[in-house]
């Protein structure tokens, strides 16, 4: 029996920091685990990352400051810098989450040092290999030793790819833990008052490259939002990448006159808005699921999703960057009848105890 298990947790982006927070909270209370917490600082921005460490009261991470860059630069720089930290700390196991370049770099650095890798959110597939995230999640699953899967579908995907049963651990979805724990705190947020919005508003978030790097797609979506804003207030906390592109395409002035564009929000203020919105229009993976958990209808400006259960339950609809579809779906899904329907949907992602199960499995293997 070992005295302490040494665990390295490697993250690099805002959503993964939020999702890993329940695990970090659990580890904080657990004397049998010695933690190394690494934040690669992929796309680091205080408004996206720094604020959360403070807000969530998490351990300060080892910060690697890899910054932005091409897919290869980010993954490569992450690999070099993470490897150095792992060699220093010598963990018994590395834990990565999701599908970012930091997830890939962390898993690859560990696997090449013969450090076993645990992947949280394993087995998700959009089956769209054009998305860098799809490449990352597939590769990471194939070099991981413990695959913590959130859904039955994810198990099926892994088995179809020939991954052995003994590597697969069905723990349910850790983002349910994060969403439920953080929403309890978020209820106290004063953000609605601060923004002076009434109770019938649409929340918008956009940051995927297929939507915000292509001017035509970005304009289609924002033109739809302007149409919608004629009958309902719209709040758009803007991602730095989207803001940069609006300025680059020289269309920021035009849209900001018509849509309430605000800075990205802290996670508690954001969850409060999400819980109160009539509908959310988003291309974020995490928000599609959080919307279902908080019973807010979702319209997703993508053509595929790895959160297929939200679609099967009709809590969410895929509209791509199609202006007509957005203008049709948002009012329909904002109605009182649709909200009644949403209230009856049972969250398929779990009971909020995934982080407990993950710790239990890691301890079983390493004690
Ligand atoms: N989020 C936030 N503030 C914002 C926008 C999003 O706290 O202004 C949170 C949101 O609740 C979710 C996560 O950020 O937990 C989603 O991040 P993002 O949309 O960047 O990424 P994805 O889920 O697509 O990977």
Do 154 and 188 fall within a single domain?
no
Domain range for residue 39?
A: 5-173+350-366
To the query of whether residue 207 is one of the catalytic residues in this protein, the response is yes
Which atom of ligand 1 is the closest one to the Cα of 284?
Answer: 24
**275 in contact with ligand 1, CB cutoff 6 A:** no
- pLDDT, greater one: 301 or 43: 301
Residue 161 within any structural domain of the chain = yes
Ligand 1 pocket residue status of 287, Cβ below 6 Å:
yes
For residue 179, being part of any structural domain is answered with no
Mean local confidence (pLDDT), 13-33:
92
- Same domain? 83 vs 127: yes
Mutation test residue for ligand 1: of 133, 205, 209, 269, the one with most atoms within 8 Å of CB: 205
Q: What is the pLDDT of residues 282-316, one digit of tens each?
A: 999 999 999 999 999 999 999 999 888 999 999 99
Please, what is the average pLDDT of the chain?
Answer: 94
- What angle do the packed helices 323-334 and 215-228 form, to 10 degrees? 40
265 lines ligand 1 (CB under 6 A): yes
What confidence tens digit (pLDDT) does each residue in 105-124 have?
A: 999 999 999 999 999 999 99
Residues 155, 189 within the same domain: no
Asked if residue 161 and residue 12 are part of one domain, the reply reads yes
Inside any domain, residue 230: yes
Q: Considering Cα of 206, then 214, then 246, then 67, what sign does the dihedral take?
A: positive
The whole-angstrom separation of Cα 208 and Cα 192 is 26
Give the residue ranges of DSSP H helices in 94-239: 101-112, 132-143, 152-160, 174-186, 191-195, 209-212, 215-228
- Assess whether 319 and 205 both reside in one domain: yes
Q: Answer yes or no: pTM beyond 0.75.
A: yes
CA distance 343 to 294: 9
205 lines ligand 1 (CB under 6 A): yes
> What's the CATH code of the domain at 190?
3.40.50.2000
Co-location of 143 and 243 in the same domain: no
* Candidates 142, 207, 239, 339; catalytic one: 207
Task: Judge whether 178 lies within some domain.
Answer: no
């Amino acid at each position: 029996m070992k005295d302490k298990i040494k665990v390295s947790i490697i993250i690099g982006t805002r959503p993964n920091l939020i999702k890993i927070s329940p695990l970090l909270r659990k580890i904080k209370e657990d004397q049998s685990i010695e933690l190394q917490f690494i934040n690669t600082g992929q796309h680091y921005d205080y408004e996206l990352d720094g604020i959360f460490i403070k807000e969530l009261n998490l351990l300060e991470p080892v910060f690697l400051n890899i910054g932005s860059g091409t897919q290869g630069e980010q993954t490569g720089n992450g690999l070099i810098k993470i490897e150095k930290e792992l060699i220093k700390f010598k963990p018994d196991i590395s834990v990565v989450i999701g599908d970012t370049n930091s997830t890939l770099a962390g898993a690859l650095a560990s696997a090449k040092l013969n450090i076993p890798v645990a992947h949280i959110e394993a087995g998700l597939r959009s089956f769209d290999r054009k998305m860098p995230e799809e490449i990352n999640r597939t590769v990471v699953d194939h070099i991981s030793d413990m695959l913590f899967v959130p859904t039955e579908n994810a198990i099926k995907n892994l088995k179809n790819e020939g991954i052995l049963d003994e590597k697969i651990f069905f723990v349910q979805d850790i983002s349910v833990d994060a969403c439920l724990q953080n929403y309890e705190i978020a209820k106290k947020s004063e953000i609605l008052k601060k923004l002076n919005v009434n109770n019938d508003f649409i929340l918008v978030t956009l940051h995927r490259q297929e939507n915000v790097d292509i001017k035509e797609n970005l304009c289609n979506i924002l033109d739809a939002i302007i149409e919608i804003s004629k009958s309902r207030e719209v709040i758009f906390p803007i991602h730095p990448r989207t803001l940069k592109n609006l300025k680059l395409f020289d269309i920021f002035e035009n849209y900001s006159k018509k849509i309430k564009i605000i800075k990205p929000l802290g996670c508690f203020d954001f969850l409060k808005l999400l819980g109160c919105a009539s509908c959310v229009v988003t291309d974020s993976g995490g928000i599609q699921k959080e919307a279902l958990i908080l019973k807010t209808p979702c319209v997703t400006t993508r053509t595929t999703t790895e959160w297929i259960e939200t679609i099967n339950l009709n809590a969410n609809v895929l509209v791509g960057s199609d202006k007509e579809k957005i203008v049709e779906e948002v009012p329909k899904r904002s109605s009182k009848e649709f909200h009644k329907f949403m209230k009856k949907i049972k969250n398929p992602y779990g009971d909020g105890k995934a982080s407990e199960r993950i710790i239990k499995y890691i301890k079983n293997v390493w004690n």
